[in-house]
């Protein structure tokens, strides 16, 4: 397929060439509805404007450091897939590194970014990462997945995700709903999601039964039996990755009456086990929010705290 031009993007999105240019240059005067339509086409076709054309307009490029927790994370890869095309369209050069949930590695990456003179940073946060470590970058950084008071933060509605699943199962007549999750020392994926389960059980006088451990499907597979009894009719997993392990265990043991639910909208889960019910936290939809907020911070605008709404994925 031939490389698309700005004229092609304009035709496909039903706007003028000048409007596409304003969207690419993050012009605040573009109507939000129009911006979203153009950016949708840009993402769909992976459009990247010519560097030479941009240079002729006198628009400089930016280097953006991105710190993910794991390069293997399905959730973060979904988020990156919505972020990177928009950075490319704005002629930003991303540098992606991995923290492996280690605060010391984050500090090393920040030192490296400082030496490289990066213009901005997108950081996927985790529980052990203290806000104090990041404050020096508060005018150049947007944080994802954790809400820091002094930093521009974009985070997910973890409590609501589990509540949605519990409410759905309850409405379907399930009364013995068990929970397989992540240790509470992980505040978002672990503690907050687990608390949502416990609070719902208390409110509707259900007997709570849960086990918490590691993120991976392997741990879930080997520990699924701990949340299964003769009365169990549904199991909620804190992540879709855990749900993969649980469903595999249930299939091998021929437990066909148990409904499995997860959180995360993992494409592999839905491909392998389409009967699993999942809540989409919005990983694949945050690109516009993250990039717009990063540019706003770099332009000296006030920081924001934005919670992304979740919804069922069928």
In tens, the pLDDT along 237-261 reads: 999 999 999 999 999 999 989 999 9
- Inter-helix orientation angle 17-24/6-13, to 10°: 110
In the CATH hierarchy, which fold is given to the domain comprising 61-156+283-309?
Rossmann fold (3.40.50)
Superfamily of the domain at 1-54 = lambda repressor-like DNA-binding domains (1.10.260.40)
C-alpha to C-alpha distance for 279 and 263, rounded to whole angstroms: 5
For β-strands 234-237 and 177-182, DSSP reports them as parallel
Q: Is the pLDDT of residue 53 over 60?
A: no
C-alpha to C-alpha distance for 234 and 271, rounded to whole angstroms: 20
At residue 37, the 3 state secondary structure works out as helix
pLDDT value, residue 57: 42
Q: Is the pLDDT of residue 77 over 80?
A: yes
How would residue 42 be classed by pLDDT, with cut points 50, 70 and 90? confident
pLDDT value, residue 152: 97
Residue 131 has what DSSP assignment? Answer: G
How would residue 174 be classed by pLDDT, with cut points 50, 70 and 90? very high
pLDDT value, residue 2: 55
Q: Which numeric CATH code is attached to 158-280?
A: 3.40.50.2300
In the predicted model, what is the mean pLDDT of the chain?
Answer: 90
Distance of CA 95 to the CA centre of its chain: 18
pLDDT value, residue 103: 97
Q: Is the pLDDT of residue 121 over 70?
A: yes
At residue 193, the 3 state secondary structure works out as helix
pLDDT value, residue 284: 85
pLDDT value, residue 70: 93
With CA atoms as reference, report the closest residue to 166 among 192, 198, 200, 199: 200
What backbone phi and psi angles, to 5 degrees, belong to 81?
Answer: -65, -25
Residue 130 has what DSSP assignment? Answer: -
Q: Is the pLDDT of residue 119 over 90?
A: yes
Average pLDDT over residues 1-13: 77
Q: Is the pLDDT of residue 124 over 60?
A: yes
C-alpha to C-alpha distance for 141 and 120, rounded to whole angstroms: 6
Q: What stretch(es) of the chain map to CATH 1.10.260.40? A: 1-54
Q: Is 115 exposed, middle or buried (0-12, 13-18, 19+ CB in 10 A)?
A: exposed
pLDDT value, residue 60: 55
In tens, the pLDDT along 265-277 reads 888 888 989 999 9
Q: What stretch(es) of the chain map to CATH 3.40.50.2300? A: 61-156+283-309, 158-280
Contact predicate 184/191, CB 8 Å: yes
User: Between the CA of residue 152 and those of 69, 103, 139, what are the distances in Å?
Assistant: 18, 19, 9
């Amino acid at each position: 397929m031939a490389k698309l031009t700005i004229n092609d993007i304009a035709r496909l999105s039903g706007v003028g060439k000048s409007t596409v240019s304003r969207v690419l240059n993050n012009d605040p005067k573009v109507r939000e509805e129009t911006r979203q339509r153009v950016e949708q086409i840009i993402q769909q076709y992976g459009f990247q404007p010519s560097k030479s054309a941009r240079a002729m307009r006198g628009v400089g490029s930016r280097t953006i450091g991105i710190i993910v927790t794991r390069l293997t994370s399905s959730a973060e890869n979904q988020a990156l897939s919505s972020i990177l095309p928009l950075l490319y369209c704005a002629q930003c050069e991303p540098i992606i590194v991995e923290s492996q949930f280690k605060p010391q590695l984050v500090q090393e990456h920040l030192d490296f970014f400082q030496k490289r003179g990066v213009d901005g940073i997108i950081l996927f946060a985790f529980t052990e990462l203290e806000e104090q470590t990041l404050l020096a970058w508060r005018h150049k950084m947007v944080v994802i997945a954790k809400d820091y008071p002094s930093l521009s933060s974009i985070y997910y509605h973890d409590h609501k995700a589990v509540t949605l699943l519990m409410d759905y199962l309850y409405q379907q007549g399930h009364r013995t709903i068990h929970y397989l999750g992540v240790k509470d020392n992980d505040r978002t994926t672990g503690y907050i999601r687990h608390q949502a389960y416990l609070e719902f059980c208390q409110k509707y006088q259900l007997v709570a039964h849960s086990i918490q451990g590691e993120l991976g499907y392997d741990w879930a597979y080997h520990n699924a039996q701990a949340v299964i009894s003769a009365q169990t009719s549904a199991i909620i997993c804190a992540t879709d990755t855990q749900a993969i392990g649980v469903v595999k265990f249930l299939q091998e043991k021929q437990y066909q009456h148990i409904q499995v639910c997860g959180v995360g909208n993992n494409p592999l889960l839905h491909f392998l086990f389409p009967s699993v019910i999942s809540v989409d936290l919005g990983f694949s939809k945050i690109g516009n929010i993250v990039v717009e907020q990063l540019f706003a911070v770099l332009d000296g605008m006030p920081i924001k705290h934005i919670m992304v709404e979740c919804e069922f994925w069928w």
